[in-house]
Amino acid sequence: MAAGTGSGSTVSAIFSPVRIWLLLPSWVSIGFFLLLPVLLMLVYSFLTKEFRGGVIWEFSLASYDQFLFDRGLFGDAPAVMKWTYINIFIRSILQATGATILCLLIGFPTAYFIATRPIQSRTMWLFLITVPYWVNLLIRTVSMKFLIRDTGPLNELLLNIGLIDAPLHVINTNFAVQLGLFYSYLPFMVLPIYASVERYNFTFSEVASDLYASKITILWSIILPVVKPGIIAGSILVFVPSLGAFLAPDLLGGAKTFMIGSLVEDQFKGNAGNWPFGAAVSMILLSLVLVVLMFYVRAQQRDQT
């Protein structure tokens, strides 16, 4: 905090009448369009389902029960732990992790490259990164499907140059889903890392080199730790939407790669039509994400003290 402004005046400045009026639109928007829908979902998850969508306003734990336990076809058998949905969660987490790692592997060098260009050309490179994102996500995902299918351009190319003898079976695999997620969210990885690397003081690399560090050591023990906040921010920005994605898993994955996003989508739009269960799954996902974020914030605070 600046020496001139004591903490007392800062606090009173936040609660000055002008401040409150100026901040009101943001507070109302966030409250109404962000918090309220989540609260609504929380309430819905504890209601009773109406067939073909909708809810009956009657308190029920059935959705959470359905998530965790199997009570037989007619719901009267003794409760047995059910792995179906938990497995979908685990699979989703693995898929999102895979996508995040892919984004990191490609995104870091890309961001580093852009951040080390002459200052005039950086804007151009950043713009190029975002160009594909002017095209609708659905269109891009479908294009990816055409690209990687057994008779698609990728396989044709690899076959023609003799790198492979038989078409690589990529479509409808976990890897295809990760590839789709990677393509969907790469800029969310590149941009925060770029911002970090751009602020990185390259004298650190010179100092490390002067102190007998090799190039690889400089990357591992100096550059990566210093730009870590950007890497973590990028990873969160990729991981969280990947976890709830449904387009890429639907279009590229097929039946075996069913993810949380598709499960939820199915409850609201698809055949299942079970709103409370969809809401409950969403709430479980949200709690998971919040727990992860809380650990991250804790770690950040520890780092700074």
Partner 1 sequence: MTTAVSLHGVRKDFGNLTALSDVTLEIEDNEFFTLLGPSGCGKTTLLRMIAGFEGATAGTIRLFGDEIEHLPPNKRPVNTVFQNYALFPHMNVAENIGFSLRMLGWTKTEIQTRVNEMVEMVQLGALVDRKPSQISGGQQQRVALARAMAPRPKVLLLDEPLSALDLKLRQEMRSELKRLQRETGITFIFVTHDQEEALSMSDRIAVMSDGELQQIGTPFEIYEHPNNRFIADFIGETNMMAATVDTVDGLQVVCHLEGGQNLNALANCQIMVGATGILSLRPERLSISKTGSTSEVLKGELGDRVYLGTDTQFIVNLSGGLKLKVRMQNSFFQGSDFKTGDTVFVTVADGAARFLVD
Question: Footprint of partner 1 on this chain (CB under 8 A)?
Answer: 201, 203-204, 206-214, 217, 222, 225-226, 228
Per-residue tokens: 280: 């409950």
In the bound state with partner 1, the residue whose beta carbon lies nearer, of 165 and 303, is: 303
CA distance 236 to 62: 32
Counting Cβ atoms within 10 Å, is residue 61 exposed (0-12), middle (13-18) or buried (19+)?
Answer: exposed
Least distance in angstroms from the C-beta of 204 to partner 1: 6
Task: Write down the number of H helices and E strands in the chain.
Answer: 16, 4
In the bound state with partner 1, the residue whose beta carbon lies nearer, of 106 and 226, is: 226
In the bound state with partner 1, the residue whose beta carbon lies nearer, of 222 and 263, is: 222
CA distance 152 to 149: 5
Residue 297 contacts residue 83 (beta carbons within 8 Å):
no
CA distance 131 to 233: 22
Least distance in angstroms from the C-beta of 233 to partner 1: 16
In the bound state with partner 1, the residue whose beta carbon lies nearer, of 82 and 228, is: 228
In the three-class reduction of DSSP (H, G, I as helix; E, B as strand; rest coil), residue 55 is classed as strand
Least distance in angstroms from the C-beta of 219 to partner 1: 13
Least distance in angstroms from the C-beta of 237 to partner 1: 22
Neighbours of 42 (CB within 10 A): 14
In the three-class reduction of DSSP (H, G, I as helix; E, B as strand; rest coil), residue 70 is classed as strand
CA distance 193 to 231: 6
Least distance in angstroms from the C-beta of 224 to partner 1: 10
Residue 106 contacts residue 188 (beta carbons within 8 Å):
no
Least distance in angstroms from the C-beta of 199 to partner 1: 11
Least distance in angstroms from the C-beta of 69 to partner 1: 47
Query: Phi and psi (nearest 5°) for 86?
Result: -60, -40
In the bound state with partner 1, the residue whose beta carbon lies nearer, of 130 and 217, is: 217
End-to-end CA distance of the chain: 16
Sign of the torsion angle spanned by Cα atoms 33, 39, 43, 46: positive
In the bound state with partner 1, the residue whose beta carbon lies nearer, of 17 and 118, is: 118
Least distance in angstroms from the C-beta of 126 to partner 1: 25
CA distance 148 to 171: 6
In the bound state with partner 1, the residue whose beta carbon lies nearer, of 216 and 255, is: 216
In the bound state with partner 1, the residue whose beta carbon lies nearer, of 180 and 230, is: 230
Q: For strands 69-70 and 55-56, give the pairing.
A: unpaired
